[in-house]
């Protein structure tokens, strides 16, 4: 699925496998939303994940962005008129009954799938659950999993005890078509070692939560800790401990390591000559909660040079995967990424290409 938020919509690439796909241009698979106030769902939307049990009925997990300064009456919804002061995300649902050729946004009686349970706050900063991942079901599991960021509020605290840094959250839902495709409030977030998956996803406009000091303890996920990555800077020959973002990449279940494998990015203290200032990384986990120390995916740097544009959204996928959702990988998957072209002229839309590199995975990775 590709395209950007806007009137043009999103178009599916169709083919017998990942090695042979073509853009299906008959009509968009999903049109953008047209909401005019924050509480009307479906603003700027992207399908970031899909899942099917039968190849025909497909769940689309949709990233929805509210930009207060772009709404009618922007002075009301974004007094500062600053982008990152008025930005909120959550995940909603679109459904397809024709194998993914077309999706429709879910009926209004069940709108929110992933959220922080907080409504939009003008000039409240970056809020919500950005960058949810694809959906993965480990072998033999009764649940499917997705991962997302979670930001309760980045500039102000409309409720006590909730302001803080972004978290990395894990969500799960029953691996059951009636539940997953028919009850989109079935997702639960990880609440911590003593609670498990018991944090409900609440529509903050239809089911507002009490304004109380224990809000964060009952309605916000427990953050997943990802260890920092050791890095020896080749420019200065100094050692660093780099924070890693796993929210930007995808994940799958590795049949070789017997664990989740998640891609992400790490920002470097100094740009590498001819490369860039961040690199693609990966980490492993047996349960989606406890992660290994990330390692770089050498030599797959996120680059910006005269030849290659900047690369983002790293994903490890395996064309040989036998599942319909490409959720498992073997010994020779590919690393896929989005690459921007560098020769775009002023005034032109960004040109983006899909690129990939072959990987080799061993059980000791």
Say whether both 220 and 322 belong to one domain: no
| Residue where a domain stops, chosen among 224, 248, 269 | 224
Residues 275-288, mean pLDDT to the nearest whole number: 87
Does 343 score more than 80 pLDDT?
Answer: no
Say whether both 220 and 231 belong to one domain: no
Say whether both 248 and 350 belong to one domain: yes
Residues 9-37, mean pLDDT to the nearest whole number: 82
Residue 12 belongs to some domain of the structure: no
Residue 47 belongs to some domain of the structure: yes
Give the max Cα distance, the chain.
Answer: 58
Does 20 score more than 60 pLDDT?
Answer: yes
Does 301 score more than 80 pLDDT?
Answer: no
Q: How many CB atoms lie within 10 A of CB 208?
A: 12
Does 300 score more than 70 pLDDT?
Answer: no
Q: How far is CA 218 from CA 149, 173, 203, 361, in A?
A: 17, 18, 15, 40
Residues 284-298, mean pLDDT to the nearest whole number: 92
pLDDT bracket for residue 308 (50, 70, 90): low
From first CA to last CA, the distance across the chain in angstroms is 30
- What pLDDT is attached to residue 4? 61
Say whether both 174 and 247 belong to one domain: no
- Least trusted range by pLDDT, from 19-33, 87-101, 244-258: 19-33
Q: Which domain does 327 fall in, by range?
A: 226-365
Say whether both 245 and 201 belong to one domain: no
Say whether both 98 and 141 belong to one domain: yes
Residue 30 belongs to some domain of the structure: no
Say whether both 66 and 144 belong to one domain: yes
- Least trusted range by pLDDT, from 102-106, 111-115, 151-155, 270-274: 151-155
Say whether both 200 and 304 belong to one domain: no
- What pLDDT is attached to residue 205? 79
Q: Do 133 and 91 contact (CB within 8 A), yes or no?
A: no
Domains contained in the chain, number: 2
Say whether both 216 and 68 belong to one domain: yes
| Residue where a domain stops, chosen among 199, 224, 249 | 224
Say whether both 189 and 282 belong to one domain: no
Say whether both 46 and 105 belong to one domain: yes
| Residue where a domain stops, chosen among 224, 254, 288 | 224
Global pTM?
A: 0.89
Q: How many CB atoms lie within 10 A of CB 275?
A: 16
Say whether both 293 and 354 belong to one domain: yes
- What pLDDT is attached to residue 52? 96
Residue 122 belongs to some domain of the structure: yes
pLDDT bracket for residue 334 (50, 70, 90): very high
Residue 14 belongs to some domain of the structure: no
Does 214 score more than 60 pLDDT?
Answer: no
Residue 59 belongs to some domain of the structure: yes
In the predicted model, what is the mean pLDDT of the chain?
82
Q: Say which residues have a Cβ less than 8 Å from residue 337's Cβ, sequence separation at least 6.
A: 280, 300, 302, 311, 312, 313, 314, 315, 354, 355, 356
- What pLDDT is attached to residue 256? 96
Residue 327 belongs to some domain of the structure: yes
Residue 239 belongs to some domain of the structure: yes
Residues 261-285, mean pLDDT to the nearest whole number: 83
């Amino acid at each position: 699925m590709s395209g950007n938020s806007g009137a043009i919509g999103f178009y599916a690439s169709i083919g017998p496998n990942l090695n042979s796909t073509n853009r299906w241009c008959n009509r968009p698979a999903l049109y953008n939303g047209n909401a005019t106030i924050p509480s009307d769902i479906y603003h700027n939307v992207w399908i970031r994940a899909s899942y099917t049990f039968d190849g025909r009925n497909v769940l689309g997990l949709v990233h929805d962005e509210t930009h207060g300064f772009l709404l009618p009456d922007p002075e009301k919804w974004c007094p500062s008129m600053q982008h990152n002061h008025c930005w909120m995300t959550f995940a909603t649902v679109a459904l397809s009954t024709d194998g993914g050729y077309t999706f429709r946004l879910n009926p209004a009686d069940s709108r929110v799938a992933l959220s922080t349970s907080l409504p939009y706050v003008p000039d409240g900063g970056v809020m919500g659950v950005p960058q949810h991942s694809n959906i993965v079901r480990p072998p033999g599991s009764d649940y499917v999993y997705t991962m997302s960021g979670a930001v309760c509020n980045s500039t102000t605290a409309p409720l006590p005890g909730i302001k803080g840094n972004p978290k990395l959250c894990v969500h799960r839902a029953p691996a059951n078509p009636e539940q997953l495709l028919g009850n989109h409030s079935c997702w639960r977030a990880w609440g911590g070692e003593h609670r498990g998956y018991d944090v409900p996803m609440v529509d903050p406009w239809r089911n507002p939560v009490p304004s109380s000091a224990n809000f964060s303890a009952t309605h916000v996920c427990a953050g997943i800790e990802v260890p920092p990555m050791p890095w020896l800077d080749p420019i200065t020959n100094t050692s660093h401990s780099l924070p890693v973002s796993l929210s930007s990449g995808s994940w799958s279940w590795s049949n070789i390591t017997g664990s989740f494998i998640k891609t992400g990015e790490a920002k470097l203290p100094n740009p590498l000559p001819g490369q860039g200032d961040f690199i693609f990384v990966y980490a492993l986990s047996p349960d989606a909660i406890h992660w290994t120390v990330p390692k770089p995916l050498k030599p797959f740097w996120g680059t910006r040079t005269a030849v290659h544009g900047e690369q983002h959204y790293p994903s490890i996928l395996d064309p040989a995967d036998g599942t319909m959702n490409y959720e498992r990988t073997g010994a020779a998957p590919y690393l896929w990424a989005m690459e921007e072209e560098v020769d775009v002229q002023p005034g032109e839309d960004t040109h983006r290409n899909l690129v990939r590199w072959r990987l080799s995975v061993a059980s000791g990775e």
